[in-house]
Amino acid sequence: AQTIHQWPVAEIKAVGSPLSLGCTIKGKSSPNLYWYWQATGGTLQQLFYSITVGQVESVVQLNLSASRPKDDQFILSTEKLLLSHSGFYLCAWVPEEQYFGPGTRLTVL
């Protein structure tokens, strides 16, 4: 069975500091992967999607970037965090319907 892992579980970071969030899926080759973000009290928004290594498409620009360095890895990052980056980040695997990872809660202070 496929399992989706995200790391870290939670982060507290300072404004202006860099960020790297990871997502990996085990048990599936060449998965379609998505990054989502939800501000506190807000609606889930798709940020990026990737269907293969080295390929990433942006859905919503939030001063974030994403990369797909390995088949089973999807990374979300920024060099300088903003206060508005706080929220809950979810990675999803999409064979057809979407399956979500456990999420990372980010607090930017």
Partner 1 sequence: GDQVEQSPSALSLHEGTGSALRCNFTTTMRAVQWFRKNSRGSLINLFYLASGTKENGRLKSAFDSKERYSTLHIRDAQLEDSGTYFCAAERGSGYNKLTFGKGTVLLVSP
For residue 105 the two structure tokens come to 């809660």
Nearest-CA neighbor of 93 among 56, 44, 51, 42? 51
CB of 16 to partner 1, least distance (A): 26
Amino acid at 23: C
Rounded to whole angstroms, the Cα distance separating 6 from 15 reads: 22
Scanning residues 62 to 91, which ones bind partner 1 (CB under 8 A)? 88, 90
How many of the other CB atoms lie within 10 Å of CB of 61? 8
CB of 89 to partner 1, least distance (A): 10
Q: Kindly state the DSSP code that residue 50 receives in the 8-state scheme.
A: E
CB 56 within 8 A of CB 66: yes
Scanning residues 18 to 47, which ones bind partner 1 (CB under 8 A)? 32, 34, 38, 43-44, 46
CB of 79 to partner 1, least distance (A): 26
Q: Which of 8, 27, 54, 102 binds partner 1 (CB under 8 A)?
A: 102
Using CB under 8 A, list all residues that contact partner 1.
32, 34, 38, 43-44, 46, 49, 51, 57, 59, 88, 90, 94, 96-103, 105
